[in-house]
Amino acid sequence: MNVLDDFTSRVERWPLLDRIGDPVRSVVQAAIKPKAVRNTLSGTPLGHPLHALLTDFPIGAWSLASVLDVFGGERDEHAADLLVGTGLVAAIPTAAAGLTDWADTHGSTSRLGVAHAALNVTALSLYSASLVARRAGSRTAGKGLAFTGPGILLASGYLGGHLAYTKGVKVSRTAWHEGPTDWEDALAESELDDGKPHLAHLDDIPILVMRDAGRIVAIDNVCTHAGGSLDEGTVKDGCVTCPLHGSTFRLADGSVVLGPASAPQPSYEARVREGRVQLRARP
């Protein structure tokens, strides 16, 4: 085990982070309860997680400020100060989106998220202090504080990458579910009760199939957000709600109605031939 793996493993087992994270989670979940807030911060309108996109703005602004601090002259001082301030402003929605993603995590993943956030807050404090020093005319101190920030951001970025690529936070759980493009037999039409979900399989892909308002609909049964089984969820008004975190999808096309999911469910076309329901992936 290398040094970084050992560090990450220790963070995952640090119980103090639970005592910090649990009350913060309650506040965040209450703040994002309105549908518009949750969907926006989850990235639902984009079909893509919002947090990863927004991180480029503060990091980019602060990085450019450091370049000007090192290579620029007096004429560039105002621009460097403006970039530090721009990064501070951009960090606010970035943090809000990140907290929204983190609010549905638990255990070791939650602890890593708390450590990731703590490092980001530290970097934010350093850049805030840098801006204050710059405005007070102490440019040497301002530059020194800003030069400390990238190291903190690198450590935070490592944990953020671990959360996404190792823990799978906000990674679509259906990313490798490639349904058939030709019609395939799924189940007997007689098995479908109006309004009751039924689980079928195409190869190894579980598919939720049901008759909704007289029409046969089918979407991937694995919730894109965190892998919940949609056939165990609630069906209402042409939508199904995942039993894990409340993500809601339209049965007709798999589109997201309510986050935290951002990616839509893969959807399938359905037809009946000789009493059998056949499915194929929707283009």
Note the pTM of the prediction, 2 decimals.
0.89
> Residues 210, 144: one domain?
no
Domain count, the chain: 2
193 inside domain: yes
pLDDT (tens, 9 = 90+) of the chain, 283 residues, equals 578 888 889 999 999 999 999 999 999 999 999 999 999 999 999 999 999 999 999 999 999 999 999 998 889 999 999 999 999 999 999 999 999 999 999 999 999 999 999 999 999 999 999 999 999 999 999 999 999 999 999 999 999 999 999 999 999 999 999 999 999 999 999 988 777 899 999 989 999 999 988 899 999 999 999 999 999 999 999 999 999 999 999 999 999 999 999 999 999 999 999 999 999 999 8
The whole domain housing 140 covers 3-165
> Residues 145, 206: one domain?
no
Burial class (CB in 10 A: 0-12, 13-18, 19+), 19: exposed
> Residues 89, 195: one domain?
no
- Give the list of residues 6+ apart from residue 41 with CB closer than 8 angstroms, or none: 32, 50, 96, 97, 100, 259
Q: Report the CATH number that the domain containing residue 274 is assigned in CATH.
A: 2.102.10.10
According to DSSP, the residues that pair with 256 across neighbouring strands are 249
